[in-house]
Amino acid sequence: MFLNMTPSIINRIAILTSGSDAPGMNACIRAVVRGALYHGIEVMGIRRGYGGLIRGDIFSMTSHSVSNIIQRGGTILKSAHCPEFMTVEGRQKAYEQLMNHGIDALIVIGGNGTFEGALHFYEEFGVPIMGIPGTIDNDLFGTDYTIGYDTAVNTALKAIDRIRDTADSHERIFLIEVMGRDSGYIAVQSGIAGGAEMVVISEDPLSTQELVDTLKQGFNRSKSSSIIIVAEGETKGTAATLADQIRKQVDDKFDMRVTALGHVQRGGTPSAYDRILASRLGLGALEGLLDGTINVMVGIINNQLVYTPLREAIDRSKPIKNELLRMVNILSV
C-alpha cells in the first residue's frame, strides 16, 4: 500500500539494517542520522535487524554515532536474519518495543525479505515504513542500482583481472563463480568489464553444449585462454558442476580451473558511486518520510529520486537487458 498522507507528526524515527551488509550501508545510515538531526528529528538505531527490535536492542544516535563510517564496509548496526519476525507474535513484540521507545516511524535498509517483513508490520500495526534498497545483487525493482552493487562488481572485477593473468600465462580456461542467488547482475556487469568469453546466468542459461561449442570455436581460432563468469544461482558450486559437465565432453583438451569468489564480494570499502548513492537514498528516505510518503522504497531511476510502493518493489522484477548478454558474445570473439 502506498500512502501519501498529510505530513503526520514524526518526532522520533528508528533505523535498522537487515538481511544484507552491502558496502555503502554505513554511508546510508550516516545520511539518515545527519538528515534527521538537520530536520530536528531524533534517531534511534536498532542493532541486529528485526531481532534487535524484538529484544529492544535500541539506542539513541547522535551526529557523533556516525562519524568516520562513510568509508567503512559492513554495517555499524549489524545485520541478522530473524525468523521470529516472520510470526505475528514476533512482530507484536517488536511493535511493543517501538511504542516503549516512542518511535513514530521505521526506516529499514535491506532487500525483498526485509521489505516483506516491514509491510506486514505496517499492515498489522500501522507503523509508517520507509525502505532503502541494500543488496549487492541489484535485483530490486524501483531503482536502477541498489546500495553495494557497484562495489561488489568492482571487487569481482579486480579478482577477474588477476585470474586472467594466470589464464593467459598458463593458457587455461577459468570458470569464475560470482554472487547472485537469484540474480545475474553481478555476473553480467563484471563479465562485460572483465572481457569474459561467456556469462552464465540463471535468467538466461546456456546449455553445456553451447559452452563447449563456444570454447571449441575459440580454440580453433587460436584462443589460448577463456574466462567464463557464472552466477552462483540457487546453489553454490554451480561453476564446479558446470566445469565437470564440460570436462566430460572435452576430455583433456582444455586445462580448466574453477574459482568461486564468495563473500569477498560483499565486504570492503564502498566505491565512490555507492557512497553517493547511499547518501542520496538515505537523505531521500528521511525527507520522504517527513513529507508523509510511507510504505515505499526510495530509489534512483535515471538520476531522479523516486518512491515505489513496497508491494511493487517486492513483487516486480527488474530484468537484465538482453543487449548486455548479446554484447558479451559479440565482443569476446
Ligand X SMILES: Nc1ncnc2c1ncn2[C@@H]1O[C@H](COP(=O)(O)OP(=O)(O)O)[C@@H](O)[C@H]1O
Ligand Y SMILES: O=P(O)(O)OC[C@H]1O[C@](O)(COP(=O)(O)O)[C@@H](O)[C@@H]1O
Q: Rounded CA gap, 89 and 159, in Å?
A: 45
224 is in an annotated binding site: yes
Asked if 20 interacts with ligand X (CB under 6 A), we say: yes
Candidates 14, 15, 17, 20; binder of ligand Y (CB under 6 A) is 20
Single out the segment in contact with ligand X by CB under 6 A; choices: 36-44, 112-120, 148-156, 171-179.
Answer: 112-120
Query: Which among ligand X, ligand Y, none contacts residue 85 (Cβ within 5 to 8 A by kind)?
Result: ligand X
Quote the least distance from Cβ 156 to ligand X, whole Å: 19
Of positions 27, 28, 52, 85, contacts ligand X by CB under 6 A: 85
List all residues 6 or more positions away from 320 whose beta carbon is below 8 Å from its beta carbon. 184, 185, 188, 201, 203, 204
Min separation Cβ 183 and ligand Y, Å: 7
CB of 151: closest distance to ligand Y in angstroms?
Answer: 10
Using rule CB under 6 A, residue 155 touches ligand Y: no
Nearer to ligand Y, 20 or 225 (CB): 20
Mapping DSSP onto H, E and C, the string for the chain reads: CCEECCCCCCCEEEEEECCCCCCCHHHHHHHHHHHHHHCCCEEEEECCHHHHHHHCCEEEECHHHHCCCCCCCCCCCCCCCCHHHHCHHHHHHHHHHHHHCCCCEEEEEECHHHHHHHHHHHHHHCCCEEEEEECCCCCCCCCCCCECHHHHHHHHHHHHHHHHHHHHHHCCEEEEEECCCCCCHHHHHHHHHCCCCEEEECCECCCHHHHHHHHHHHHHCCCCCEEEEEECCCCCCHHHHHHHHHHHHHCCCCCEEEEECHHHHHCCCCCHHHHHHHHHHHHHHHHHHHCCEECEEEEEECCEEEEEEHHHHHHCCCCCCHHHHHHHHHHCC
Q: Is residue 112 close enough to count as binding ligand X by CB under 6 A?
A: yes
Round to whole Å and give the CA distance between 121 and 161: 45
Site for ligand Y in 266-305 (CB under 6 A): 266
**Dist CA 226 CA 246 (whole Å):** 13
Which residues, in sequence order, are bridge partners of residue 201? 204
Selected binder of ligand Y within 10, 13, 15, 19 (CB under 6 A): 19
Give the residue at shortest CB distance from ligand X: 113
Q: Is residue 51 a contact point for ligand Y (CB under 6 A)?
A: no
Residue 45 vs 113, nearer CB to ligand X: 113
Q: Which does 225 bind (CB under 5 to 8 A by kind): ligand X, ligand Y, none?
A: none
**Any catalytic annotation for residue 137?**
yes
Active-site choice (21, 57, 104, 137)? 137
181 binds, among ligand X, ligand Y, none (CB under 5 to 8 A by kind): ligand Y
Question: Given candidates 51, 180, 299, 309, which one binds ligand Y under the rule CB under 6 A?
Answer: 180
**CA dihedral (273, 275, 281, 283) positive or negative:** negative
148 touching ligand Y, by CB under 6 A: yes
Q: Pick from 13, 16, 18, 187: which binds ligand X (CB under 6 A)?
A: 18
192 is in an annotated binding site: no
Least spacing, CB of residue 157 vs ligand X, in Å: 23
Can you name the residues that pair with 132 across neighbouring β-strands?
109
- 57 touching ligand X, by CB under 6 A: no
Q: Which residues are annotated as a binding site for ADP?
A: 30-34, 164, 195-197, 221, 223-225
Binding residues for ligand X (CB under 6 A): 18-20, 50, 81-82, 85-86, 110-114, 116-117, 120, 135
Q: Which residues are annotated as a binding site for Mg(2+)?
A: 112
Which amino acids are annotated catalytic? 137
Binding residues for ligand Y (CB under 6 A): 19-20, 22, 111, 135-137, 148, 179-181, 232, 266
